[in-house]
Amino acid sequence: MNTSFIQSSKLLEHPSLRISTGCGVLDGLLGRIEAGRTYLFYGDEEVLRKLLYGLAVNSLIELEKPVLVLTMKDYHAGLIFDTYDLGYTAVQYFLDPEYALKNVYVATVFNRRQVANIKEIVKFVRKKDIKVILVWATTDLFEYEDYTIMIKFLGSLKQALETDVALVFFSRESKLSKTFPPKPDGPVFFKHFANVIVYFRLSMRNKRLVKIYLVKHPYRRLKEVTAYLDYHGLVDL
């Protein structure tokens, strides 16, 4: 494998795709969502769920292009995607909810065999000119013995799309982690897979306060900020 070299100034160049998360302090922490980067957001599920809908809506507003939500949520565990929450979030951002529902596509992965069908996903993304892919419940389908399948799927998705698409993965924190911030759920590979990793922790004392930790970034200083969990997403205090 050949070594790849890049000028450090290139890291600071602004790509054409830069969308807001809907939360000013989070944007300031990670530098907004950029094309060509892979993000891993993990931690409290309620926080991540609202961030999922907020990112989908902000992408529609700022890019005026469709968004793909690829969900690996086990349908036995509840709703795989809440269209009411998407519509409600759209209203809060003064976007027609019908427009949001028509332009946020949802691809459901119900079993491990489906993750191999990467070509169909890539073909759809190209056809619809999708620039943001949100992967919900990334590790839900995979047990330890299935990690090789998961790694192959995520690697293929990243390799096929990362040059002009922003990939955002959502996952739980590991129940076995004894460090802080805790490690994300899934294989160790996850830590090296994403360019940017952010951990979200809901306050035990105040269920509306969220501590946000920048765990990994190619050039930004690792630090933490605090945001407020509103009914439609994360907002500044």
**5 in a structural domain:** no
- Tens-digit pLDDT profile for residues 92-102: 999 999 999 99
**170 in a structural domain:** yes
What whole-number distance in Å separates Cα of residue 29 and Cα of residue 103? 28
Q: Over 80: is that where the pLDDT of 105 sits? A: yes
**10 in a structural domain:** no
pLDDT in the model for residue 80: 76
What whole-number distance in Å separates Cα of residue 54 and Cα of residue 68? 13
- Tens-digit pLDDT profile for residues 184-219: 988 777 778 889 999 999 998 888 999 999 999 999
Among 168, 202, 205, which Cα is nearest to 59's?
168
Percentage helix, strand, coil for the chain under 3-state DSSP, each rounded to 5: 40, 25, 40
Lowest mean pLDDT among 65-79, 134-148, 149-163, 198-212: 149-163
Judge whether 174 and 184 are in contact, CB under 8 Å: yes
Question: Count of domains in the chain?
Answer: 1
What whole-number distance in Å separates Cα of residue 70 and Cα of residue 80? 10
**108 in a structural domain:** yes
Band (16; pLDDT cuts 50, 70, 90): low
Q: Determine the average pLDDT of the residues in 60-76.
A: 87
Judge whether 109 and 72 are in contact, CB under 8 Å: yes
pLDDT in the model for residue 9: 52
pLDDT in the model for residue 2: 46
**155 in a structural domain:** yes
Q: Over 60: is that where the pLDDT of 12 sits? A: no
pLDDT in the model for residue 158: 76
Judge whether 208 and 194 are in contact, CB under 8 Å: no
Print the domain residue range for 22. Answer: 16-235
Q: Over 50: is that where the pLDDT of 1 sits? A: no
Give me the residue label for tokens 């759209």. 90
**147 in a structural domain:** yes
**8 in a structural domain:** no
**9 in a structural domain:** no
Lowest mean pLDDT among 18-22, 46-50, 56-60, 163-167: 163-167
What whole-number distance in Å separates Cα of residue 183 and Cα of residue 172? 9
Q: Over 90: is that where the pLDDT of 75 sits? A: no
- Tens-digit pLDDT profile for residues 78-91: 667 899 999 999 99
Eight-state DSSP code of residue 192: H
Q: What is the largest CA-CA distance in the chain?
A: 51
DSSP state string for 112-165: GGGGG-HHHHHHHHHHHT--EEEEESTTTT--GGGHHHHHHHHHHHHHHHTTT-
pLDDT in the model for residue 114: 57
Q: Domain of 190: which CATH number?
A: 3.40.50.300
